Structures are given as structure tokens and as C-alpha cells.
């Protein structure tokens, strides 16, 4: 049985393709048009194809790229310096222009707003703060900075919440205790 992505002849052919062909989407678009001309007229999620002019297609592609990267940056990828600026201009709600266009999960905002009480209860709980593998002041600073909105600790909050839940489920639960006793 042969699979196109595992076929050695196919892979060899791809690697022999001229760099100019690989740097452009023209071959892909031509293959689509050869298969179904109507399909070639539909713009892709990356702003390719469609029946618009090159300038409009480039503008559309750049807008899509910008909103995609902005949405990522607004969530997990926002550097601390930008989180402070965002906190200062938060009354303008500029995030409305790009959030929700490419993904639906926005943990930075959820942890800061809707789930802030949960984050506080879980991560500032005496059990969590007494774990030997966590630094109490570090966890407190992460939670306070993120919930204030002037810092972005989405990834750290994910990690500590995961560790704490695993610890409670597998080490602190009554069933875990009975397994240890046996």
C-alpha cells in the first residue's frame, strides 16, 4: 500500500522542485483550477485565490495574517511590556477587532476576568502554596499580576493549575491514599 506523504518517489520529486516553484502558490492554485475552476474562485482562509485583484488579495492576506498573530499575541504570546500597555488602554476594548476570528479559547482574558475567582481559590489556597515544588511568593506574584491585568502569565497559570489538579487527584485524594497504604 502506498501513501502520498510516505511515498519515497513523491518526496524525492518534491525535493527536486525548483526553489521558485516552492516559494510561490501558483502551482497549487493552478492544480486547483485544473480540477475545478469554480473552486479556484473561492478565497482561502489564508487570503489566496479568489476572483479579486492582486492588490486586494494581498491586503486581505495581510489583514488575515495580522488578526491571526494579534489573537495569538493577545492570549499566550503577549510580552509583559505589551500587557502593561494593554492594561492602560483597556477601556478602549481594542481586542474586539480581532478576538474570536481565528480561535475561540482566550485563556488570558478568561483567567483575568471570568475565571479569576477560580484561579484565586486554586492557586492561592494554602494547600497549593505549601507544595514543596512551588515558590509561594512566585505563585502569588503570578496570580496577582495576571489578575490585575498588567502582566501576562497565561502559560504559568496553565502549568500551576495542571500541577495542582494532578496533585489533588492523584496524591491527595482518598483513593490515592488507599492505594499507597496497600
> One digit per residue, pLDDT tens: the chain, 182 residues?
666 667 888 778 878 878 887 777 888 888 888 998 888 888 776 667 777 677 877 887 888 888 878 777 777 778 888 888 888 888 888 777 767 766 677 888 889 999 999 999 999 999 999 999 999 999 999 999 999 998 999 999 999 999 999 999 999 887 766 655 55
pLDDT at 177: 60
pLDDT at 74: 75
Phi then psi dihedrals of residue 114, to 5 deg: -65, -35
Rounded Cα–Cα distance for residues 157 and 147 (Å): 11
Phi then psi dihedrals of residue 6, to 5 deg: -115, 0
pLDDT at 159: 96
Phi then psi dihedrals of residue 5, to 5 deg: -85, -10
Cα torsion 82, 96, 114, 145 to 10°: value is 10
Closest CA to 25 of 5, 54, 4, 3: 54
Q: Scan for cell 485544473, then name that residue.
A: 34
167: which residues sit within 8 A by CB, 6+ positions away? 131
Amino acid at each position: 500500500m502506498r501513501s502520498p506523504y510516505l511515498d519515497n518517489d513523491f518526496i524525492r520529486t518534491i525535493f527536486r522542485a525548483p526553489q521558485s516553484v516552492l516559494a510561490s502558490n501558483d502551482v497549487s492554485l493552478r492544480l486547483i483550477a485544473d480540477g475545478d475552476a469554480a473552486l479556484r474562485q473561492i478565497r482561502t482562509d489564508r487570503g489566496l485565490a479568489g476572483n479579486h485583484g492582486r492588490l486586494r488579495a494581498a491586503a486581505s492576506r495581510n489583514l488575515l495574517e495580522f488578526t491571526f498573530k494579534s489573537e495569538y499575541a493577545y492570549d499566550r504570546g503577549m510580552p509583559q511590556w505589551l500587557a502593561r500597555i494593554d492594561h492602560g488602554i483597556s477601556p478602549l476594548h481594542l481586542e474586539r477587532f480581532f478576538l474570536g476570528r481565528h480561535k475561540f479559547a482566550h485563556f488570558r482574558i478568561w483567567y483575568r476576568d471570568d475565571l479569576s475567582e477560580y484561579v484565586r481559590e486554586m492557586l492561592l489556597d494554602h494547600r497549593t502554596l505549601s507544595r514543596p515544588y512551588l515558590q509561594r511568593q512566585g505563585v502569588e506574584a503570578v496570580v496577582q499580576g495576571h489578575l490585575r491585568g498588567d502582566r501576562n502569565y497565561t502559560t504559568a497559570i496553565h502549568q500551576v493549575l495542571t500541577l495542582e489538579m494532578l496533585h489533588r487527584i492523584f496524591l491527595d485524594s482518598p483513593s490515592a491514599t488507599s492505594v499507597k497504604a496497600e
